[in-house]
Structure 1
């Protein structure tokens, strides 16, 4: 797998350039974001490393504005997290996936990992990262596979604490095509849907 994708915000200025590739048995998402959240413009870089079965093993976030701020967390793939220097993070126990507030890509992680069939639903707990605050907390979510087709798949996303729901259209790699009113894919290096 090697994908090069651009997403554009629908609800205001914002752009993401995502590179998704496999290397040495890992799936790596490397991305640059330019966005505005609550009247604050910011630039950010993130890297998410997963094992070959889409279990998150490392997350790095960096705000590129002055002064630059960084965050690096590691996971064992079974729901245990710690900082880069080895400090355990028991508040994140049980979190397998991550959700970064200003990117549609992190929806791909549970979609690929869970392999849901139409009609199946699963509740998960994710590490939710808010930008530009660079803070994190556990959050409960539910994904339901609504349909699969030759052109792609539809999933229902539910934020169980927030009450937010959305129907997400993806391609066969689980990458978002349309996240209604928030993000839309505007270009892909390998885009069978166009």
Structure 2
């Protein structure tokens, strides 16, 4: 299965086009984010490889001449492109790339929370511009009706995300909206 999703930032000219493919029992996402605010004018691209349960196996993010390339094994051990273990990311089940609402879909799909349920998670957060990588704590709560409360526990930020029946973000208030 191949699916193309598009988003636009609500307060800038930033746009994203993502191609999602199901292949060989896994999921592959490739995206280009254009018009990133505060960047050097180059596009940001990312590549994600996920298992059938939406758990991250590989993440690659490129911004100009900078790149973050990580893998995660079945025990949850993260490694950089050179194979070095990244102990600070131990316990991070998901990734969150600051310039895309797509990475909010990963915990929504993986956790499969019933209405009223919530879960606190650790994620490998990639800040763009700059590709700064750090672990952060987040909480997702299924509010029902295709709405999830997202909380950045280390920063005090909260938003209610609207998602479609597949868990893809339709609206991220003040940040992103899905395009037809």
TM class by smaller structure: over 0.9
Structure 2 partner of 1:108: 105
Instruction: Confirm or deny: 8 A CA contact 2:10 2:174 kept in the other structure.
Output: yes
Structure 1 residue 53 corresponds to structure 2 residue 50: no
1:36 to 2:53 alignment? no
Using the alignment, how far apart are the partners of 1:3 and 1:42 within structure 2? 25
Partner of residue 167, structure 2: 174
Contact 1:78–1:94 (CA under 8 A) maintained in structure 2? no
Distance 1:135 1:77, change over 3 A: farther
CA drift at 1:24: 1.1
Residues in 1 aligned to 2:12 and 2:100: alpha-carbon distance in whole angstroms: 13
Q: Which moved more, 1:32-41 or 1:168-177?
A: 32-41
In structure 1, the gaps of 5 or more residues are: 188-194
Post-superposition shift, 1:79? 2.5
Number of residue equivalences? 180
Q: Deviations over 1:117-160 (max 9, x none)?
A: 11000000000001120120000000000003xxxx11000000
Q: Deviations over 1:37-75 (max 9, x none)?
A: 336533111001110111100001112x3xx22221000
C-alpha distance in 2 between matches for 1:36 and 1:101: 10
| Pick aligned residue for 1:74 from 68, 71, 74 | 71
Of 93, 98, 101 in structure 2, the residue corresponding to residue 96 of structure 1 is 93
What residue in structure 2 maps to residue 190 of structure 1? none
Asked whether the 8 Å contact 2:12–2:37 carries over to 1, the reply is no
Find the aligned partners of 1:42 and 1:167 in 2 and give their Cα distance. Answer: 30
Report the Cα offset of residue 13 of structure 1.
1.5
Stretches (4+) displaced over 2 A: 35-42
Correspondence list, 1:1-194, <5 A: 1-38=1-38, 40-63=40-63, 65=64, 68-148=65-145, 153-187=146-180
What whole-Å deviation, never above 9, does each CA across 1:94-128 have from its counterpart, x for those lacking one? 00100000100000000000000110000000000
SS for the counterpart of 1:52 is coil
